[in-house]
Each structure stands twice: as structure tokens, then as C-alpha cells.
Structure 1
Amino acid sequence: MKIEHPAPMQWQFSRRAEQLQSSVIREILKVTMRPEITSFAGGLPSPATFPVERMREAFDAVLSRQGSVALQYGPSDGYAPLREWVADHLSTDGVRILPEQVLMTSGSQQALDLLAKVLIDQGSKVLVETPSYLGALQAFSVYEPEFVSVPTDDGGLLPETVAPIAQGARLLYALPNFQNPTGRTLSVERRLALVETCARLGLPLIEDDPYGALSYRGEPLPKMLGMNPHGVIYMGSFSKVLTPGIRLGYVVAPVPLVRKLEQAKQAADLHTSQLTQMVVHEVVKDGFLTQHIPTIRALYADRCQVMLSAMDEFFPKSATWTRPEGGMFIWVTLPKHIDSMKLLEEAIAQHVAFVPGTSFYANVPETNTLRLSFVTVPPERIRDGVEKLGRLIAAKA
């Protein structure tokens, strides 16, 4: 029986829900779905790198051999053979990572949410880079921390600035490799200094490393996890080296923290897809990534160079930008008087899109910054889009 003429429902949202905001990038992507738009906005891996046939074979193999297991509920901490693979993959001659330290997650974004859930209270001090990854700021913001911005320069985070601002902090969040949004890489010397500082202060250090394998030179720098496995929380993902559609990431931490994260995950989704984990293990177990990742590096390195060359040619000298050695992003700093949000409106009218830099700041934004991503755009469109954007900037410079 249907109720006639029900009164409009008056939803009473929680205070936390009232503070939620949409991702600026996701909103921009709605516009950039139009085929005429050359989009430098989304941090999306290139579909040209997706190993579709290898994934199909893996799905067939898993479903034909272990279909009833793959389609069943799984353990909250993850599929044991894949956790063992992750542990072996991250172990070095000096540091052995145990499978018990690995928790599989539904993308590394879930790892951020779980870490925030178990480490952050309302008003907790949280240290983040300036600028920092928007997705992390979103995940942490739900739990109402007090963000403290750690200064950076062209070499990334400045370790010597941490101690004076770290008292009472719950964690420091950093992306040392080809950082999102800047593309900067932290040197070995700075990694050691940062790890030593955090260890001395008893400050948990989150090392978010989705891009570490994407070094154009093919030689990733040492992980901070290997410098102090007792104080560094490592986050990894299969999104950038296989495909983001599988939504599979992982977090590596000391066992007491992993157990708390596992409890929080049980409340969130019980477990990450057993089928997905088994398929990914089938793909990676015999060394597939050692052949596959170099093809991604080569494609991204080529498109990065195309964009940098076009910027050298078409951008005014009053603008500056990073020159990444890996990853997916270039960070642009414009003259102080140019507002990148207003520039975006003009750029979209010219069928070009990017991400304004303001969303990547936890506290005081720099409105004259923007992020460019080059990996999904063919070289000829990169050059055309950069030329259009350069003309718009030059007109304001």
C-alpha cells in the first residue's frame, strides 16, 4: 500500500556530513568528458597501458580453477598469497617485511581513510606537505584534524622544518616519489633526515608511494619504509602499474597498527574483493610487472618530454614549472596576480582543462598555481593544448 502525498523528507545530516565537499578534480572531470576538451586535469593512468589481455587470462584462470573461492567472502586482511607477494616485493637485504604487516585495501584511498579513522581525533595535529595530495586532505578532513603545513622547496619537503612544528602531532603524511601534485622527488639525503627526525620525535610517518615504480630512469630511490620499518607506514597501489578499475591497494605497518586498521576495515566493507585480489596475484606472481612497467615508463617519459618542450616554447618566461623525473604531473607557478581558477574558465572556453592549485593546500592556498597531467593525452594534442594555455597566460603576464 502506497502513502498518498507524503511530506518532503527533512534530512538531518551529521555535522561531519555537513562538512563534506566534492573533489574539485572530480567536478572538473565532468566537464572534461566532452570529446573536444584536451584535458590535462585528471590524474588518470593512460588506458594504453592497461594489460587487458593479461587481465582477461587471469580472470579466466582464477574462475576456472578456484571460482568458488574467488566468489566467496574473504579474510579482512586480504588474500594471503597476495599479501605474501607484497611483503616479498617490499623486503630488502636489510629489512624483511612480514605478510602480517600487510593489509589489502579497496584502493589506497581506503587506506587513507582507515589510517585517519584510527589515528586522528577531532583537533588532532596532522602534518602535511605544502602543497599536498587532495585525496589525502579530503580523507583526513572528515575526522576534523588541525592541519599544519610543512614547508617545501623545489626539492620537496624540508626535513629541518618538521621538529619545530611537530609537538603533539599524530602523523606526518608525505609522497616522496614524483609527488602529486608537484612531480617533485625527495632526495635520499632528505629521506634519511626525515625518517631520523620522525623516529626521534616518535612521529608516525606515512609514506604514500603510488608513483614510485614510474621513474623514467628505471631506478626508483630507496623507500623510507626500509629506513625505519617500525615508524614508517607505507601505502602502495596497483592502480598505476596495472589498472585503477580493480580498486586494489595496500598498507604496510607495524602489526599492532595493522590489527587496528583491520578492525576499522571490518566495519567499513568486511574485506576487499577476493576475486580482484586473486586475479591480481595471478597476474603479478610470475614477474609480469618487470616486463610491463618499463612500457609505462617509456610512454609517460615521452609524453612528459613533449609537454615540457611545448611549455618551453609557448609559456611566457614569467611562469615557472617543475621538471619531473617520473610520475604523471607537472606543477606550474604563474605570476602572483594570475588566479588559476579564473584562468580555468577561459581555458575551458578554449577546450583545454587543468586543475587549479588551490585545492592542494591544507591551509593558505597559492592561487597562482596549477597542475598539469600529460599521460592520457596524445602528443599532438599535448602540444596544441599547451600552446592555447600558453597564449592565455601570456595575455595576463
Structure 2
Amino acid sequence: MIDWTTRLARRASTTPDLIGGILALAGARDLINFSGGFPDPSLFATDVVGDIARKLIENDAAVALQYSSSEGIASTREALADRLAATDGRRPADAELMVTSGGIDAITLIAKSMLDPGDVVVVEEPSYLGAVSGFMAFDPTLRGVPLDGDGLDVDALATLLRELPTPPKLVYTIPDFQNPSGRTMSVERRTALVELCRQHGILIVEDVAYSQLGFDDAPRPSLWSLGPDVVVQIGTFSKVFFPGVRLGWAVGPAAVVAQLSIAKQNSDQCAGALGQRMLEEYLRAGHLDEHLPLARALYRSRASALTGALERHFDGLATWTVPQGGFFSWLHVPGVDTMALAVVARESRVAFVPGSGFFAESRDNEHLRLSYSRISESDIEEGVVRLAAAVRSLRETS
């Protein structure tokens, strides 16, 4: 027998399978699952989507069932540009926008297009583990900048820039309802970050996966709207349409987007045309605008249920963020190795994501992420009770 593990690329030994473990629990029904950032299936507009799909197959098969260009179907990109004009207050030029196969595809395309081995990429600490592992596959040097209640610490970033011999290639940030912390970057920080990166010639990668899922109507300018010359915004419709079609976008400087499109030719070539046309029709008919208030209300209720359960059962055991949107709360459990806690919690049929994988540079085993997006309020209460018992059990035996 040939040991194929000896033939793997060197990068394979340093790329952890963190997302695989989360996705493996996507269909689990025998446990209370706080792990994945999955949208609730009850929100999927199956009747509307089914009708759209049927009409496209009947009337538009030559486009909807065919390959598309790597940058995306022209009419779909036009609908996305209209959407960005409404949400961000700026309509991108045609050459500034492309369709991607979800957010992680955009991250991979940016890494493939921008990074040589050893190039510095700055990420928030903690940060989305898919981005951390996605960048790591291209052998950069990852540097972490801390978060606080106002998001990425721009002063800390400025200090880091003074220490580095050359500026980083990229700064990756999730300014709205960040994954995993749930925190949101203040308007002042957004302006300061754009100006700092413009001054140093650094490309900002703005991930807006959760920006449409705020629990209030407070206006928050996107980084791309503040600095279209230094920002590539990447987004996904997985959270607000449905993840089965794997669709997102990248919008930014035309020269960068052109290279992302070339990179896509050598990955999956193009996003699925049927999904693109379904999304386009969904947007143009106003269905997303009708859907978002329902989604926000559901997730707001579940976030409130989680916060209340933590207040009742985790007082003195941990501290946590109170989400104002998105899917997540971030817990600090002092003195507890959350990798070990995950094993104990699974014995009580509870799953969550330990925090260590969300750190690119620091070592931190005392945090964990809870996702409330796909759990009923009664299960949230019971899951927090079980998790608190697991923390106490682990502390008693340590």
C-alpha cells in the first residue's frame, strides 16, 4: 500500500481541518448544536424560490443551466450593483464587481491573487477561522491585531505598522457583528482604518457576511463606501438567501477584481448560473427586502434568549459579548481549556466551537463561540444549562 500522506504538499500539514468539523455537525439531530453559523431553514423562501427555479428552467435554460463568465452573469452583476447602491450608497462600475461562490471563495481568490510566501496579512484577533485557514494555505505571515468593544483596534494596528519593515499586503476585517465575537466596528474606527491603510498602501478586505442582520436600524457605513480605492468588500448570500447556491460577491478596485476573475478561471471557473439567475430574480422582485425583517426578528429573539440564559447560568463562570446582530456570542471561560470542555460537553449532547482556531498569532484556549441562529429558544436554555454543568465538572476535576 502506498502511503499517500507522504506525497501531500507541505502546506497540507499546516492547514487545520477546522471548518470540516463544524460542517460535519450540520445535519446532526441528536444534540443541541451551537457550533455552525447556519441560517435557520424556516426562513428559506421555498415557495418563492421553487417558483423562480421552475420559470427559469422553462424559459431561460440557455443561460440558467449553462456555464457563465468567470466574473458572473451580466444581468446578475447589474442586480448586485443596484443592491450595493441601495445598501452602501455607491454603485460600483461594471469592472469593480464580480460574483463569487460564497465568501470563502472570495477569500481564496484574494489570497491566490495577492499573496507570495512570507507576505504579511493582518487579521483581527480573534477572526473568522475560515479566513485564517484560507490565508494560511498560501504561506503568508499572519499578524494579529486585538479587538475591543469598538472593533479592530486601529491604534494597535498603527503601532504594528511602525514595527514592520514593510507594510502588510492585506488587512482582513469583519466590521459588522464579527465572527466570532459579535462585535461591531465604530464609525470613527472605520474612517481611521481606511485612512491608515490608504496612507500605507494596504488593501483592506472587508467581509460583510452579517451586515444585513443587525437588530437595529443604526446606519453603519461600509469600509468600501468610505474607501473604494483601498477596500475589497466581500459578501455572501448564504446567511440571507440560502447557502445551498453558494453565492457571494467581491467589489473593489478594478485592477484587483480583474485579477480575482482570472484566479477564478483556475478554480471553479464560475459560480453556478442557475443560482445566479435565481438570486437575481429574487432581488429584483423585492423578496430579500421582505425577508430581512423576518430574519432579524428571529435572530434578535434567539440572541436575547441566549443572553438571558447566560445571565442565569453562567454568572461567575464566564464573560460574554452581547450581540447586536449576526449569529454569535463569544465567551471567555477563565482557567478552562475549551478544547477539553468540548469533549465533556459532547458527552452531554452539546456542541460548540472552541476558540483556539480563531486566533492567527496569539495562543488562546479559554474562549468559545456559541451560535444561536439555528436553535430553538427552549434548546438554547437547555444547552446553556448543560454547558454550565460541563464547565463546573471540568473545573472540579482539574
Which amino acid in 2 is paired with 1:266?
Q
Matches of 1:65 and 1:15, distance apart in 2: 48
Deviation, 1:145, is 0.5
Distance 1:282 1:94, change over 3 A: closer
Matches of 1:385 and 1:35, distance apart in 2: 14
In the alignment, which residue of structure 1 is the partner of 2:213? 214
Matches within 5 A, 1:1-397: 8=2, 10=4, 12-23=7-18, 25-30=19-24, 33-91=27-85, 95-166=90-161, 167-335=166-334, 337-395=335-393, 396=395
Contact 2:125/2:362 (8 A) holds in 1: no
Q: Secondary structure at the match of 1:36?
A: coil
Which amino acid in 2 is paired with 1:15?
R
Q: Deviations over 1:253-291 (max 9, x none)?
A: 111111111111111122111111011101111221111
Contact 2:35/2:371 (8 A) holds in 1: yes
Contact 1:102/1:250 (8 A) holds in 2: yes
Q: TM-score, normalised by structure 1?
A: 0.94
Q: Secondary structure at the match of 2:60?
A: helix
Which amino acid in 1 is paired with 2:290?
Q
Q: Secondary structure at the match of 2:169?
A: strand
Q: Secondary structure at the match of 1:91?
A: helix
Matches of 2:131 and 2:23, distance apart in 1: 19
Matches of 1:33 and 1:273, distance apart in 2: 24
Matches of 2:220 and 2:383, distance apart in 1: 32
Which amino acid in 1 is paired with 2:116?
D
Contact 1:207/1:233 (8 A) holds in 2: yes
Deviation, 1:9, is 6.7
Matches of 1:56 and 1:355, distance apart in 2: 34
Matches of 1:85 and 1:42, distance apart in 2: 29
Q: Deviations over 1:296-329 (max 9, x none)?
A: 0000000110111011001132410000100000
Q: Secondary structure at the match of 1:176?
A: coil
Matches of 2:271 and 2:24, distance apart in 1: 28
- Structure 1 spans left out of the alignment, 5+ residues: 1-6
Which amino acid in 2 is paired with 1:154?
G
Contact 2:338/2:367 (8 A) holds in 1: yes
Distance 1:236 1:311, change over 3 A: same
Deviation, 1:388, is 1.2
Q: TM-score, normalised by structure 2?
A: 0.94
Contact 1:315/1:394 (8 A) holds in 2: no
Which amino acid in 2 is paired with 1:123?
G
Matches of 1:65 and 1:26, distance apart in 2: 38
Which amino acid in 2 is paired with 1:27?
G
Distance 1:219 1:81, change over 3 A: farther
Deviation, 1:18, is 3.6
Deviation, 1:220, is 4.7
- Structure 2 spans left out of the alignment, 5+ residues: none
Matches of 1:220 and 1:57, distance apart in 2: 34
Matches of 1:184 and 1:219, distance apart in 2: 14
Matches of 2:75 and 2:131, distance apart in 1: 28
In the alignment, which residue of structure 2 is the partner of 1:4? none
Which amino acid in 1 is paired with 2:358?
F
Matches of 2:76 and 2:198, distance apart in 1: 29
CA RMSD of aligned residues (A): 1.7
Larger displacement relative to structure 2 (163-172 or 185-194): 163-172
Matches of 1:147 and 1:366, distance apart in 2: 16
Distance 1:259 1:54, change over 3 A: same
Contact 1:225/1:233 (8 A) holds in 2: yes
Contact 2:109/2:260 (8 A) holds in 1: yes
